[in-house]
Chains A and B, each alone.
Chain A
Amino acid sequence: MGILTLTAVHKNFGETEIIRGVSLDIEQGEKHAIIGPNGAGKSTLFHLISGLHRVTTGTITFKQNEIQNKTPYEVSRLGLTRSFQVTNIFARMNVFENVRCALLWSSGYRYSFWHLLGSQGEINDRAMEVLDQIGLKNKALFPAGELAYAQQRALELGIAIAGGAELIMLDEPVAGMSHSEASNAVDLIRRVTAGKTLIMVEHDMNIVFDLADRISVLVYGEIIASDKPENIRANSRVQEAYLGEVGSNA
């Protein structure tokens, strides 16, 4: 059994069934991409795994813990982190504070109101390291909400990875970026997820085939294929359902 296992996961919103029986097993260290047409339920699947939504039926297991009924913060504490499709940062705090907050729980500070963070050398150093990694060291004291878009995306990623989670889920990490920004972002993702497990949703097929070891194709709430990139490219069902137009220009 891998690090994350979904078993027959269903999710209904009212009458509508969005996720219709997804089972998936993700290995430790795997780089896994989820692709599929708009409205297939990719983001919903992310929300279910990360605890934002509750599953209707089915189980989700992360490192031998059943997490389908856990809250986002409980899931996060187990070492599962995620980023968001729409930039989701702490806009009124500066860049350094954003990252340092993301480090607090994993550094064991919990809800402490007796530690003064200014004098905690280790966490401050660690936060600067993360800033260095994501290329925002010279913006440390800049208000996060006033960063340029690509920089906000980098910060988004920094917040997600800062806590040292083992499983990182990225929801369209390069959406809305220019070509050169996207290629920088891919390098960055490769660097910060080295040795970790990665699940990502992405529309840009070049990036998907570049980064992923394995790809799952989600169509109308069901996984119709889950395989190595080259096999996915060759799969006729996938071609028909989704890759058709993309495959021809790729």
Chain B
Amino acid sequence: MMASIAKLSLWAGYLLVLLALPQFFDSILSISIFNQMAIAIIFALSYNMLLGQGGMLSFGHAVYFGLGGFLAVHTLILIENGSVYFSIIFIPLVGGIFGLLAAIFIGSFSTRKAGTVFAMISLGIGELIAASSLIFVSFFGGEAGVSGDRTFGPLFFGVDFAQDLEIYYLAAIWVFIATVFMYLFTQTPAGRMANAVRDNPERAEFIGYSARRVRFISFCASGLFAGIAGGLFALNYEFITEENLNAATSGRVLLMAYIGGLGYFIGPIIGAVVLTLMNSLLSNYSELWLLYLGVLFLLTVMFLPRGFAGLIMMHQVAWLRGTLRRLALPYLITGIPAFIFILASIAMIELSHTDGEVFHYLGVSLERGSSIDWMLIGGIAIAAFLATRKSLQQLKDAWEDANTLPGDEDS
């Protein structure tokens, strides 16, 4: 009973945060970032239904996102023409249905196997559809894409959705609904068996389930939600292009889900939020942000195989035992030099790449031609690196101290 109350309040909190965000950040930029986040959260969660929960590594998930989006824009055009008449709040559902149909068709043959074969089929289909989209211009609009207008159709309680803020509230509701349903899916027999098939498809067959059928169901559900995300994209931007169903978009969603943490339901949400923020904020400051993103991604794969969510969850034991406090100081001792090292490295990377002679960084002016400046930052970077390295042992000791209680060794 306590557990279900805790769960319900968690969901209520989620909804509250979604609805309250614009009260605190109401600039045009932040609303536009929130809209991107909403789209990314649904898309990344739908991707995790495949990879994290079903063990299917897809390199072509943007297909369902993009096809859903294209159909959504075409529906907007139909509403504008007056060919159909319904409120645009249902547009994401149109995208979802089309994503589902595409997934039913493609999943019928691609889910026969997981592993490399599945990954390759997803890659092939992705490339096939992305390339076809440039040939079939009347539907995909070629390189320019297709665009629509979301302000037609019947008003929804007097709202015409001309403002981005109005779209945000619509998106927040859709994100909430989609998150709830994707979570509930994990609690159903089909959702649980998806985990079982991921872990051990052979054994799953011996407890009565066709691994292929189980994968197919997850695949279709994933296509549905990817399509909803695509529909939301169409509503937000009022246009869609070939780029939204190509390999780069498929790669980005993999990145989000992986960095966030595949093993946890909340992981992709974290990944979507972090990457969208990085995308929007960093890209304003540095044209090298994709380079940093690549480094971050590789480091995550190498050192945090369970992603950011895994990193947070690692502290659960210490939290429950009340020993979390003991980690604070060791974290600071390692964290501060590590942070300085990162700042100094970025300074060197940016300085070597700056167009002008002088580069303004954290209130300091660095000169590109000055070897003193270079040696200074280089020295700071090396010193910070060594300090970080040296402090790792004490962090490790503190970690073990916080996670083991006396007499705990034998359990």
Is the CB–CB distance between A115 and B203 below 8 Å? no
CA A89 – CA B203 in complex, angstroms? 7
Please, how many angstroms separate the alpha-carbon atoms of A147 and B196 in the complex?
A: 17
Which one of A32-40, A91-99, A198-206, A229-237 is at the B interface?
A91-99
Indicate if the CB atoms of B188 and A116 lie closer than 8 Å.
yes
Shortest Cβ distance from residue A61 to the other chain B in the assembled complex, whole angstroms: 19
* Contacts A/B (CB < 8 Å), 19 sampled: A52-B202, A71-B205, A72-B206, A73-B205, A90-B203, A97-B192, A104-B207, A104-B209, A105-B209, A109-B189, A111-B189, A111-B190, A112-B188, A113-B189, A113-B190, A113-B191, A114-B188, A115-B189, A159-B207
**Interface presence of A50 (CB below 8 A):** yes
Residue from the list B196, B202, B213 in contact with A101, Cβ < 8 A: B196
Q: Which residues 204-251 of B sit at the A interface, judged by CB distance below 8 A?
A: 204-210, 213-214, 217, 221
A88 at the B interface (CB under 8 A): yes
- Chain A nearest CB, measured from B211 CB (Å): 8
Q: Would you list which residues of chain B between 173 and 209 have a CB under 8 Å from chain A?
A: 184-185, 187-193, 195-196, 198-200, 202-209
Q: Does A173 contact B (CB under 8 A)?
A: no
Question: Which residue on B lies nearest to A52, using beta carbons?
Answer: B202
CB closest residue in chain A, given B214: A111
In chain A, positions 13-48 with a C-beta closer than 8 Å to chain B are none
Q: Residue on B with the closest CB to A92?
A: B199
Q: Which residues of B contact A51 (CB under 8 A)?
A: 205
B209 touches A73 (CB 8 A): yes
Contacts of B184 in A (CB 8 A): 116
User: Which of chain B's residues has its CB closest to A77's CB?
Assistant: B208
Q: Is A106 an interface residue (CB 8 A)?
A: yes
Partner of A113, one of B203, B206, B221, B263: B221
Q: Judge whether B206 and A117 touch: CB under 8 Å.
A: no
Interface residues of B, Cβ cutoff 8 Å to A: 184-185, 187-193, 195-196, 198-200, 202-210, 213-214, 217, 221, 263
A197 within 8 A of B: no
> Quick check: A104 and B192 within 8 Å, CB to CB?
yes
Chain B residue at smallest Cβ distance from A80? B206
Does A221 count as interface, using CB distance less than 8 angstroms? no
B322 to chain A minimum Cβ distance, whole angstroms, is 20
Contact check, B195 vs A73: say whether CB atoms are below 8 A apart.
no
Q: When A73-B206, A104-B208, A163-B207 are in contact, do A113 and B217 touch as well, CB less than 8 Å?
A: yes
- Interface residue ranges, A against B (CB under 8 Å): 50-52, 71-73, 76-77, 81-82, 84, 88-93, 97-98, 100-102, 104-106, 109-118, 159-160, 162-163
B217–A101 touching, CB < 8 Å: no
Given contacts A71-B210, A112-B188, A116-B184, contact A93 B205 (CB under 8 A): no
Say yes or no: A159-B203 contact (C-beta < 8 A), given A112-B188, A115-B189, A116-B188: yes
Cα distance A73–B206 when bound, in Å? 5
- Cβ-closest chain A residue relative to B184: A116
Contact of B199 among A84, A93, A113, A115 (CB under 8 A): A93
Specify which chain B residues have a CB less than 8 angstroms from the CB of A163 in the assembled complex.
207-208
Complex Cα–Cα for A114 and B181 (A): 10
**Shortest distance in angstroms between A170's beta carbon and chain B's nearest beta carbon?**
13
Q: By the criterion CB–CB under 8 Å, are A104 and B210 in contact?
A: no
**Smallest distance from the beta carbon of A163 to chain B beta carbons, Å?**
6
Choose among B188, B199, B203, B263 the residue with the greatest number of A CB atoms under 10 Å from its CB.
Answer: B203
Q: Top 5 A-B pairs ranked by shortest CB distance? A: A105-B208, A72-B205, A109-B189, A113-B190, A90-B199
Chain B residues lying within 8 Å of A101, measured Cβ to Cβ, are 192-193, 195-196, 204, 207
- Which A residues touch B209, using CB under 8 A? 73, 104-105, 111
Pick from B189, B192, B203, B221: contact of A88, CB below 8 A.
B203
| Contact of A88 with B200 in the complex, beta carbons under 8 Å | yes
Complex partner residue of B206 from A82, A92, A118, CB under 8 angstroms = A82
Decide if A93 touches B195 in the complex (CB within 8 Å). Answer: yes
What distance in Å separates the Cβ of A127 from its nearest Cβ neighbour in chain B? 11
B206 pairs with A112, CB closer than 8 A: no
